[in-house]
Structure 1
Amino acid sequence: MMYLETFGRTGEPPLLLLHGGGVAGWMWEPMRAHLPPHARVLVPDLPGHGRSAAESYASHRATVDLLARTLEEEGRPATVVGFSLGAQLAVLLAAVRPDLVERTVVISAQALPLRMTGPTLALLGATAGLARNERFARLQARELFVPESHLADYLQTSSSLSRESLLASVEENLRFVPPAGWSTFPGTALILVGAAEKKLMRRSATALHAALPHSTLEVVDGCGHGIPLQRPEWLARRIEETRGR
Structure 2
Amino acid sequence: MMHLDTFGSTTEPPLLLLHGGGVAGWMWEPMRAHLPPHARVLVPDLPGHGRSASENYTSHRATVDLLARILEDEGRPATVVGFSLGAQLSVLLAALRPDLVEQAVVISAQAVPLRMVGPTLALLGATAGLAKNESLARLQARELFVPESHMADYLQTSSSLSRETLLTSVEENLRFVPPAGWSTFPGSALILVGAAEKKLMRRSAVALHATLPHSTLEVVDGCGHGIPLQRPEWLAQRIEGARGG
Relative to the length of structure 1, the TM-score reads 1.00
Q: Deviations over 1:25-57 (max 9, x none)?
A: 000000000000000000000000000000110
Gaps of 5+ in 2: none
Deviations 1:135-166 (A, max 9, x none): 00000000100000000000000000000000
2:178 pairs with 1:178: yes
SS for the counterpart of 1:106 is strand
Query: What is the aligned partner in structure 2 of residue 222 from structure 1?
Result: 222
Identity %: 89
Instruction: Give the match for residue 188 of structure 2.
Output: 188
Matched ranges for 1:3-82 at <5 A: 3-82=3-82
* Residue identity opposite 1:4 in structure 2: L
Q: Name the amino acid aligned to 1:19.
A: H
Q: CA deviation at 1:241?
A: 0.7
Query: Residue 142 in 1 paired to residue 142 in 2?
Result: yes
Letter in 2 for 1:95: A
Amino acid at match of 1:189: A
Write the distance in 2 (CA, Å) between the matches of 1:244 and 1:121: 42
> Which whole-Å CA distance do the structure 2 matches of 1:209 and 1:112 have between them?
12
SS of 1:237's partner is helix
The residue that corresponds to 1:203 in the other structure is 203
SS at match of 1:5: strand
**Structure 1: which 5+ residue stretches go unaligned?**
none
Confirm or deny that 1:157 pairs with 2:164: no
- The root-mean-square deviation of aligned C-alpha atoms, in Å, is 0.3
Q: Paired residue for 2:166? A: 166
Aligned to 1:130: 130
Cα shift readout 1:73-127 (whole Å, capped 9, x = no counterpart): 0000000000000000000000000000000100000000000000000000000
**1:42 match: secondary structure:** strand
Q: Determine the C-alpha separation between the residues in 2 that align with 1:112 and 1:211.
A: 12
Secondary structure of the structure 2 residue equivalent to 1:41: strand
CA distance in 1, matches of 2:169, 2:221: 28
Q: Distance in 1 between matches of 2:183 and 2:242?
A: 19
Secondary structure of 2:42's counterpart equals: strand
Deviations 1:188-229 (A, max 9, x none): 000000000000000000000000000000000000000000
3-state DSSP of counterpart to 1:213: coil
Secondary structure in 2 matching 1:168: helix
Give 1:99's aligned amino acid.
Answer: D
SS in 2 for 1:224: coil
What is the CA–CA distance in structure 2 between the aligned matches of 1:101 and 1:10, rounded to whole Å? 17
Letter in 1 for 2:9: R
Give the C-alpha shift of residue 60 in structure 1: 0.1
User: Per-residue deviation at 1:11?
Assistant: 2.0
* SS of match in other structure, 1:201: helix
Once residues 208 and 179 of structure 1 are traced to their aligned partners in structure 2, the CA distance between those partners, rounded to angstroms, is 10
* Count of matched residue positions in the alignment of Structure 1 and Structure 2: 245
CA distance in 2, matches of 1:78, 1:20: 19
SS in 2 for 1:142: helix
